[in-house]
Structure 1
Amino acid sequence: MAGYVDIGGHPTWVDDSGGPGAALLLLHGGMSNSDDLLRSIGGDLSKDYRVVAFDRRGHGRTADTEGAFDYEDMAAETVRVLETVVHGPAHLVGWSDGGIVALLVALSRPDLVHRLVVIGTNFHYNGTVPFDMDPQSPMAQELATAYAERSPDGAEHLEVVFRKSVALFTSEPQLTTADIGRIAHPALVVVGDDDVVTLAHTISLYEALPSGQLAVVPGASHALPFEQPDVLARLITTFLAGTQPPRTLMPVRRAAGA
C-alpha cells in the first residue's frame, strides 16, 4: 500500500510494503526520498519484516511548508507515523539525516523503538567533513531528477529545499555523547570507510551507545546504500536477528555482560 496519509494535518506520502514479522521503518536521507532505501535494501528486508517508509515534509512526494527544516520536527513527524501508520514500535533504519532522526526518536519516544540501525550518521554537525556538491555531478543530477519527478511543489522548488537543507546541515544536530549514552536500545552504527561523516566521529557515536555495534564497510562512501546494498542488507538482517548482547569468544568492551 502506498499513498497519502494525514500526518499532523499534512498529506504525507507513506509506503507500507508489508512483509512478515516486526515492523521496520526506513528513514531516508536529506534531499532524498523513501524510494531510495526501498529500492536499494527494502526488498531484502521485506522478506523478514513489515517494511514501512515515508517522505518527510519537503521531500519526495510530500509537499513542503513555509518553515525551516529542523531535526526535532522531523522526529516528531516520525513519531506520528509510528503512531498513525505502524500503530506501535518498530525497528528504525535511518540513512544520513534519517539516522539523526532515528536517534532523536529513540531519545524522545523510546517506547516506539525496538532496535536502531544508523548509516552514515552524525550526532553533531561538526562530525562531517566540509564538502561541496557539484551541481553537475552524477549524484546531484540524480537528486534533482528524482525531486522533479515526485515533488508536488514542482522542480523549481528544489532551490528552496536546497537552501533549507544547507542551513540544517551546518547548524544541527547538536547532540552530545552524554545524550547518546541515554539510548539503551541495541544499535548498529554503519559507515563507509570514505564517508562524509568522519571515522573519529562515528567511533564516538558507537562508543557512546551502551548497546552499540559498529560496522565499517570498505570501499564505500556516504552513498553506501546504493554502492553496496547487498552488504548493507546482510549487516542489518544479521544485527536485527542476533542475540543481545552479542555472544563473543573474547569480549572486552562487553566483558561485563558476558
Structure 2
Amino acid sequence: MKPFKAILAVLLALTFFNANAQQKDTLLKKNTIYGNNKAVGKYADIRGFKMYYEVYGKGEPLLIIHGNGGSIGDFRYQIPYFAKNYMVILADSRKQGKSTDATDSLSYEMMADDLNGLLDNLKVKSANVIGWSDGGIEGLLLAMRNPDKVKKLAVTGANLWPDTTAVDNYVADFVMKQNIVGADSVKKMKNPSVEIKNQLKLLHLLSYEPHITREALHKISCPTLVIGGDHDVIKAEHTLAIAKSIPQSYLWILPNSGHSTPIFYRDMFNQVIGDFLSKPYRKIEGWKVLE
C-alpha cells in the first residue's frame, strides 16, 4: 500500500471504528450535503489560513467539532436534529476538509485556538460545544484556554495522552507503526504534496499527542458530559478519569459501543446531549447519590 493510501486508511478506520463492517460500509458511501453546501458554506480568515465553515438553524450557538481526518459531513445525523433549537456552527479544522493550510505546524492547541478565532469572527461570545474524538480533545482545550467561551461541553471518545494507558493497545501499536512507515516513505519522496504532508501530520497527532494533565482539567468551569463506548478506541477507565477530573461533569459509557457514537447510536446520542444542554446541571452529593 502506498504511504498516502496507508495514512488515509488509518484515519478512516479510526474515524469510523465499529465492529459492524456492512453497516460501516453503507454509512461511508452515504452522500450528504453537509460540508458541501454552497448555499451556506463560507470561508473565514482565521490565524493564517482560510477556515471553511457552515451555520444552520437559529438560537443559542452550538459549536460541533469533528475528529482527526474528518469534516463537517461527519455530523450529518446531528445537524438537522440540533438546528431545530440551536444555531449550529461547524467548521473543517486546519488541514482537513476544505480548510486548506500549507504551513508546517499542527497541534490540538492550534486547532482549539482556531475555533476560538472562528467564534470571535462570528461575534459569538459563548457557545455550547460538542466534540468527537480529536474534536473532543479540542473541545477540552477550548474550555481550558477560553473558559468564557464554552457554556456547556459534551465530548465523546476524547483522550488526554496518546499511550496505551489511554488508547486501545492494538490501535495504538498499529497507528505508531503506520506513522513510522509513512514518515520514512515521505522522507524518500522528492517533492511530496501538501496533501500528503498534511495527512502525515494528522497521523503524527494520533501517535504523539495530546499531552493534557488531569490537573489541567480542573480549569474547566462549565458543565461537561464525558462520553465513551465500552469498546471504544479510548479505554473506558481513561474516559472515567477525564470525567472525575472535571469539577462539574456527568459520565456516560454506552454499552456495546465503539468509537463512533454520533453515527451508530445517533438517536440516543442526540437525545442525551440535547437533554444535557437544555437542563440545568445537577450537583449530585449527599443523599442525592441514592436517587
Q: TM-score range by the shorter chain?
A: 0.7 to 0.9
Structure with the higher fraction of residues in strand conformation: 1
Contact 2:131 2:155 survives alignment (8 Å): yes
Q: How does 1:196-207 map to 2 (within 5 A)?
A: 196-207=233-244
Q: Which residue does the alignment assign to 1:124? A: 161
For residues 248 and 181 of structure 1, what CA distance do their matches in structure 2 show?
A: 18
SS of 1:16's equivalent? strand
Which of the numbers 107, 124, 140 marks the counterpart of 1:103? 140
Q: Which amino acid aligns with 2:42?
A: G
Which of 65-74 and 93-102 deviates more? Answer: 65-74
Partner of 1:43: 80
Q: 1:246 and 1:36 mapped to 2: Cα distance?
A: 33
What CA distance in whole angstroms lies between the structure 2 residues aligned with 1:87 and 1:236? 21
What is the deviation of 1:221?
0.9
Give the match for residue 69 of structure 2. Answer: 31
Deviation at 1:166, TM superposition (A): 2.0
Count of aligned pairs between the two proteins: 230
- 1:1-258 pair list within 5 angstroms: 1-19=40-58, 21-37=59-75, 39-126=76-163, 127-130=166-169, 131=171, 132=174, 158-245=195-282, 250-252=287-289
**Structure 1 residue 231: deviation in Å?**
0.9
SS in structure 1 opposite 2:257?
strand
Counterpart residue identity of residue 139, structure 2: A
SS at match of 1:221: coil
Q: Which deviations, in whole Å up to 9, do the C-alpha atoms of 1:22-54 show, x marking residues without a partner? A: 1000000000001211x0211111111110000
Counterpart of 1:5, as a letter, is A
Q: What is the identity, as a one-letter code, of the residue corresponding to 1:22?
A: E
Q: Distance in 2 between matches of 1:7 and 1:69?
A: 14
CA deviation digits over 1:51-80, x for unaligned, max 9? 000011111111132313201111110110
Q: Secondary structure at the match of 2:143?
A: helix
What CA deviation, in whole Å up to 9, does each residue of 1:128-158 have, x standing for no partner? Answer: 124137xxxxxxxxxxxxxxxxxxxxxx755
The TM-score normalised by the length of structure 1 is 0.83
Instruction: Give the number of the structure whose alpha-carbon radius of gyration is greater.
Output: 2
Percent of aligned positions that are identical: 29
Match of 1:251, SS?
helix
Could you say what secondary structure the match of 1:6 adopts?
strand
Q: Residue type matched to 1:33 in 2?
A: S
> Which whole-Å CA distance do the structure 2 matches of 1:27 and 1:120 have between them?
12
SS at match of 2:140: helix
2:260 corresponds to which letter in structure 1? A
Task: Provide structure 2 residue ranges, at least 5 long, that are not aligned to the other structure.
Answer: 1-39, 176-192
The runs of at least 4 aligned residues of structure 1 exceeding 6 Å deviation read none
> Following the alignment from structure 2 to structure 1, what is the Cα–Cα distance between the partners of residues 67 and 93?
10
Contact between 2:129 and 2:154, CA under 8 Å: does it hold in 1? yes
Q: Distance in 1 between matches of 2:285 and 2:264?
A: 30
Q: Alignment partner of 2:64: what SS? A: strand
Tell me the SS of whatever aligns to 1:52: strand
Q: Is the 8 A contact 1:31 1:161 kept in 2?
A: no
| Residue type at the aligned position of 2:219 | R
Q: Give RMSD over aligned pairs.
A: 2.0
Give 3-state SS (helix, strand or coil) of 1:220's partner.
Answer: coil
Which whole-Å CA distance do the structure 2 matches of 1:235 and 1:250 have between them? 24
Q: CA deviation at 1:102?
A: 0.8
Task: Return the letter of the residue paired with 1:16.
Answer: V
**Distance (whole Å) between structure 2 residues aligned to residue 244 and residue 230 of structure 1:** 22
Paired amino acid for 2:258: S
Contact 1:23 1:86 in 2 (8 A): no
How far off its partner does 1:160 sit?
2.6
Aligned-partner SS, 2:254: strand
Q: How far did residue 181 of structure 1 move?
A: 1.5
